[in-house]
Amino acid sequence: MLGRIKHFFNIMVIKKIARKFYVLFAFKKITTMEVTTQRVSSSASLSDCNLGQNISIGDRCYLYKVAIGDFTYLSKDVTVMNTIIGKFCSIAQGVLISGGNHPSKTFVSTSPVFFSQGKQCGVTFSDGKYFREMGNTKIGNDVWIGANAVVKDDINVGDGAIIGAGAIVTKDVAPYSIVIGNPAKVIRYRFELEEIDFLLRFRWWEKGEEWLKANYKDFHNIDSFKKKYG
Ligand SMILES: CC(C)(COP(=O)(O)OP(=O)(O)OC[C@H]1O[C@@H](n2cnc3c(N)ncnc32)[C@H](O)[C@@H]1OP(=O)(O)O)[C@@H](O)C(=O)NCCC(=O)NCCS
């Protein structure tokens, strides 16, 4: 009799454990679903950021005061500061955007100990802020930035632009232009002028997810896209 009771209790305990596992598993499933819309690597460092939906931030990224639009992703080792990034941007590994400034004119030294209270080297001699160290950069929608490119502070990158791998961007980048080199220069535009004009007016990146999902194949050819929606 005692053996039967023991057996019964063992089954109850096993059932209880199984139920706990089930709840854990179900909970895990829910959290996984939730985080897939904002995938941020555990080795990334983010401070004062505003993240959209369906975004991804890779390993060792460093973001300070950055707003990121929906469907944008940052690969690994990307550093961005004081920047607004639009939707559907693809930012490759090693990119630096709006990394800050040191004085190159008038000031005797470039070291922030003389003009900043940021204590970059642990100390400062300065009682205030005597130099504008950070700019405000804006990256449009559907921008592709190639590996190891540098975008300087206070730059405006237009919608649909492409910045080639290793480019150093020192001036504003026109919408739908492709820039490469150091300093970055336009090599060509992605589309004809009237196509660019149409895309900038159409602003497909503001469409809802359902519309984008239903019509994704239209995105494979600019001619038919313009014919259909232009
Ligand atoms: C900028 C880029 C998009 C241009 O692509 P493309 O329009 O197909 O251009 P092409 O390959 O036909 O190159 C055109 C010319 O520019 C040169 N060029 C291309 N990319 C360059 C770059 N990043 N830097 C310097 N020169 C470049 C080519 O050598 C070629 O020169 P040529 O006319 O004297 O022969 C592409 O080369 C690039 O840099 N992509 C980024 C790749 C990357 O970083 N991937 C990481 C993960 S997404």
Residue ranges with strand state E in 140-229: 144-145, 150-151, 156-157, 162-163, 168-169, 177-180, 185-189
Q: What are phi and psi of 79, to 5 degrees?
A: -115, 125
What number of residues does the chain have?
A: 230
Rounded to whole angstroms, the Cα distance separating 49 from 78 reads 14
* Residue to mutate, 187, 188, 189, 191, ligand 1, most ligand atoms under 8 Å from C-beta: 187
The mean pLDDT of the chain is: 90
Compute the average pLDDT of residues 103-113: 98
Domain boundaries along the sequence of the chain:
1-36, 38-99+134-190, 192-230
Pairing of strands 137-139, 79-85: parallel
Q: What is the pLDDT of residue 1?
A: 59
State which amino acid sits at residue 73: Y
Compute the average pLDDT of residues 93-122: 97
Rounded to whole angstroms, the Cα distance separating 206 from 156 reads 19
User: Does residue 149 have a pLDDT over 80?
Assistant: yes
Q: What is the pLDDT of residue 22?
A: 39
* Catalytic residue of the set 76, 102, 138, 190: 102
Lowest mean pLDDT among 16-20, 111-115, 120-124, 211-215: 16-20
Q: What is the pLDDT of residue 8?
A: 58
How is domain 38-99+134-190 classified at the architecture level of CATH?
Answer: 3 Solenoid (2.160)
User: Does residue 119 have a pLDDT over 80?
Assistant: yes
pLDDT tens, 12-56?
Answer: 556 555 544 433 443 333 333 344 589 999 999 999 999 999 999
Q: What is the pLDDT of residue 34?
A: 43
Q: Is 168 in the pocket of ligand 1 (CB under 6 A)?
A: no
pLDDT tens, 155-186?
Answer: 999 999 999 999 999 999 999 999 999 999 99
Is the preceding omega at residue 183 within 30 degrees of 0, hence cis? yes
**Which residue, among 95, 44, 37, 47, has the nearest Cα to 70 in the 3D structure?**
37
Protein residue whose Cα sits closest to atom 45 of ligand 1: 146
Collapsing DSSP states into helix, strand and coil, what is residue 170? coil
Residue ranges with strand state E in 58-202: 62-68, 73-74, 79-85, 90-91, 96-97, 137-139, 144-145, 150-151, 156-157, 162-163, 168-169, 177-180, 185-189
Q: Hey, how many other C-beta atoms are within 10 angstroms of the C-beta on 43?
A: 11
Two structure tokens written together for 140? 């449009």
Compute the average pLDDT of residues 184-206: 98
pLDDT band at 64 (very low <50, low <70, confident <90, very high): very high
> What is the share, in percent, of the chain residues with pLDDT greater than 90?
84
Q: What is the pLDDT of residue 7?
A: 63
Handedness of CA 11, 13, 14, 18 (dihedral sign): positive
User: Does residue 224 have a pLDDT over 60?
Assistant: yes
Between the CA of 165 and the centroid of ligand 1 the distance, in Å, is 7
* Residue to mutate, 73, 180, 182, 185, ligand 1, most ligand atoms under 8 Å from C-beta: 180
102 carries an active-site annotation:
yes
